[in-house]
Chain A
Amino acid sequence: GNSVTQMEGPVTLSEEAFLTINCTYTATGYPSLFWYVQYPGEGLQLLLKATKADDKGSNKGFEATYRKETTSFHLEKGSVQVSDSAVYFCALGNAGNMLTFGGGTRLMVKP
């Protein structure tokens, strides 16, 4: 079946540090890949997505590249801000149209 594994948190960084949150997946077929973010007390917001191998999704300074050879979709940002503190979810979309989520990674950015 489909599954998504992402690094456990919390990840604690200082402002302006480089961020990487690892995400790997197992899937049949050709899934789409997503990163969602959940700010404290809010719902899930789509951060970025990629629909095929080698695609790069980007938004708000965050990037992730769909790597089929390593079945990965790692999230990166060059310089994090305090306002980026949130829980980040990697997700896989399959032919059944629902999303399979990873366990979430809490990011804490300190000033």
Chain B
Amino acid sequence: DSGVTQTPKHLITATGQRVTLRCSPRSGDLSVYWYQQSLDQGLQFLIQYYNGEERAKGNILERFSAQQFPDLHSELNLSSLELGDSALYFCASSVVGGGATGNTIYFGEGSWLTVV
């Protein structure tokens, strides 16, 4: 158990709909990251928040948005859903910045989104 909690674990929704994925980081972690894992694109970085503020943005579509709340939990909002948005969405967290500092980035178990 990484300590990163994601809900829901599975979600099936129709095209054009909007969903919200929720993430609670490990206790004490200030950075939250969102990644998308799909069969054709692999693992893609979407966005990072640090202590409530957006820190870095990757390949995130304009239909997607995220935020980090004062209690440090984060939500990823996906709107106007398309079939191609079907993927496993991971949330991850780290104490400060991970990556080059060598600090470990811990991943949750992911939220499976199926768009039909």
Determine which of A32, A36, A103, A104 lies in contact with B100 in the assembled complex, contact meaning CB atoms within 8 Å: A32
The contact string, 1 if C-beta is below 8 Å from chain B, for chain A 80-102, is: 00000000010001111111111
**Are A94 and B42 neighbours in the complex by a CB distance under 8 Å?**
no
B17 to chain A: closest CB distance in Å?
Answer: 25
Chain B residues in 8 Å Cβ range of A95: 99-100
Contact A49-B107, Cβ < 8 Å, known A95-B99, A98-B45, A98-B56: no
**Are B99 and A45 neighbours in the complex by a CB distance under 8 Å?**
no
| Residue from B55, B99, B110 with most neighbouring chain A CB atoms (10 Å) | B99
A47 to chain B: closest CB distance in Å?
Answer: 11
B74 within 8 A of A: no
- For A46, the closest partner residue in chain B by CB is B104
Contact A43-B2, Cβ < 8 Å, known A94-B99, A98-B99: yes
A29 within 8 A of B: yes
Chain A residues in 8 Å Cβ range of B105: 46, 93, 99
- What CA separation (Å) do A29 and B99 show in the bound complex? 12
B97 within 8 A of A: yes
- What CA separation (Å) do A31 and B97 show in the bound complex? 13
- What CA separation (Å) do A51 and B100 show in the bound complex? 7
Which size bracket describes the interface of A in this complex?
A: 20 to 34
Determine which of A44, A51, A97, A102 lies in contact with B107 in the assembled complex, contact meaning CB atoms within 8 Å: A44
- For B58, the closest partner residue in chain A by CB is A98
Contact A43-B101, Cβ < 8 Å, known A97-B48, A98-B45, A99-B45: no
**Are B43 and A94 neighbours in the complex by a CB distance under 8 Å?**
no
The contact string, 1 if C-beta is below 8 Å from chain A, for chain B 93-115, is: 01001111110111111100000
Contact A97-B42, Cβ < 8 Å, known A32-B102, A43-B90, A43-B109: no
- Residues of A in contact with B (beta carbons under 8 Å apart): 29-32, 36, 42-46, 49, 51, 89, 93-104
* Contacts A/B (CB < 8 Å), 13 sampled: A32-B99, A43-B2, A43-B108, A44-B90, A46-B106, A94-B100, A97-B48, A97-B97, A97-B98, A98-B98, A98-B99, A99-B98, A100-B45
